[in-house]
Amino acid sequence: MLSAACKESIRAMIYIAHAGGDKKIIPVKEVAEKLETSFYFLAKNVQKLVKAGLLFSYKGPKGGVKLAKSPEEIKLIDIVEAIDGLEFFETCLLGFKECSDEHPCAIHHKWADKRKAIYKLFSETSLKDVVEDMEKNCLQIIF
């Protein structure tokens, strides 16, 4: 499944998008405080998101991060790929090396459709979609 780093990175990107981070710089310390997570843990993941081209990073007293693309252009799968990679969607759930449609493990056929559905969900859902759904449904953003 998704690592803790990946989950925190998705939450951080949602917060940045919600806070207007495609138009203004958001301090990483602010994001860490709102997420109630370690600044250092988040900063490490922010570096990966910058390297992947999802965030711009600005140094200095007024530094922070800003979305490198509009919220509608950033899909959840982009964040997953930057932090965890896509192996989750490409490898056997049970960890077998020889697992395929031709040589399936015990749960291959049950898992394959679900894995494709999760990949599709993450590929089709943008940060804008998540923020709009949260605002439309009056859901408290968990920050």
- Token pair of 88 as six digits: 């989750």
pLDDT in tens, 22-32: 899 999 999 99
pLDDT of residue 27: 96
pLDDT in tens, 28-65: 999 999 999 999 999 999 999 999 999 999 998 889 99
Domain 4-136 top-level CATH class: mainly alpha
For the chain, the structural domain boundaries read: 4-136
Q: What is the value of pTM for the model shown?
A: 0.90
